[in-house]
Amino acid sequence: MDGAHYSNGHRRRKLEMTLLLACLCGLISLSCAGRPSVSRQKLQVEKHLKRLNKPPIKTIESPDGDIIDCVPISHQPAFDHPFLKDHKIQTRPSYHPEGLFDDNKVSNSKGPKERSSPMSQLWHMNGKCSEGSIPIRRTKKEDVLRASSVKRYGKKKHRSIPKPRSADPDLINQSGHQHAIAYVEGDKYYGAKATINVWEPKIQQPNEFSLSQIWVLGGSFGEDLNSIEAGWQVSPDLYGDNNTRLFTYWTSDAYQATGCYNLLCSGFIQVNSEIAMGASISPVSAFRNSQYDISILVWKDPKEGHWWMQFGNDYVLGYWPSFLFSYLADSASMIEWGGEVVNSEPDGQHTATQMGSGRFPEEGFGKSSYFRNIHVVDSSNNLKSPKELGTFTEQSNCYDVQTGNNQDWGHYFYYGGPGRNPNCP
């Protein structure tokens, strides 16, 4: 009797000790506090990295610390999408927009009329990918660990889109996203183009970002918003540094479950072997010095219906298949151009994260950042100057926008600002 009692008690204590040790060591899937254990998180991260980082045929180390993998075009992350299993890759668009090649070149301009050398990406200094492969910036473990969760890695936060007609202060404070944009609405749009001045704005907090981009939008600003976005950004949280990088984004449900930056989920199909999404752009503009800009075009192929992206005059990068979208499967109802920052400061304080060059629009060329040669694509696949541009900013004392129009630059605007300053506390 006593022996049996001792044996049962001993076994129970032994089981309790085993469970306690397992809990402490993270060997079971839930920690004592009910959160995912260290080992489970590690497993999730490794699984995610394996999904993103496809086996390369060649690897190039960039001077900025990036690793660029040359991956066979048919092995890229896009083809993890169940709808793309049997997709025949379209290597080039059926049609470019009419009037595209009448426009200016990508430039290194010391003044509004000088245009010359195209920009490059830093990794090009150490090699190129061969035809039939595409360059993919390798995702590192520390990149994923900076995200709020493995699931949210590579995604924008909800409500990161400017809604020009609802400058509600409560909405601004809740979302933390601020904008200085020009826009068109009220028609059907089949693409957009602009030449965007490139800078390296200073970011105050690692979880903030500053970007300049084109938005191609369809649907309402509720939970069904479709968006295709492209431009340049500085995002320490996403990339681990303060470099200015080329990026794209897409969503079909207002940033909730669908879409991502660059190639960090299945969706965008890249066909170009020379430009890497998410890689650093070089050189960038300097205050009262040489100004550098990039041209970006996003348009809907009238034959196949996919949305294509072109960088400069020479690089057709790839496309978003039309089935990814609901509203954009037909056309866009709004186009926006401009800057966006995240303000993560508490208690009503404003971040000192810069937008554009960090200078206000009235300072002009060589000091303030600009978008120029702004166009939309109409239903006949013609590249056209918009009839008029609306403007919007939540707090013009922090970041502002001013439009103009002349023979050389067509429709243009200067935009941006320093964030926190005496008029923007």
Distances in whole angstroms, Cα of residue 66 to Cα of each of 101, 122, 207, 419: 33, 9, 20, 30
Which SS3 state, helix, strand or coil, does residue 388 take?
coil
Catalytic residue among 200, 208, 336, 340: 340
Contacts 24+ apart (CB under 8 A), 263-267: 263/52, 263/76, 263/77, 263/78, 263/136, 264/52, 264/77, 264/139, 264/153, 264/154, 265/77, 265/154, 266/77, 266/78, 266/79, 266/80, 266/81, 266/84, 267/78, 267/81, 267/320, 267/321, 267/324
- Residue 98 designated active-site: no
Catalytic residue among 229, 304, 336, 345: 229
Tokens in use for 66?
Answer: 């990036």
Q: Which of 254, 265, 260, 171 is nearest to 218 (CA)?
A: 254
- Residue 340 designated active-site: yes
Q: How far apart are CA 294 and CA 37, in angstroms?
A: 45
- Please answer whether residues 179 and 274 qualify as being in contact, where contact means their C-beta atoms are separated by less than 8 angstroms: no
Q: Give the catalytic positions in this structure.
A: 229, 340
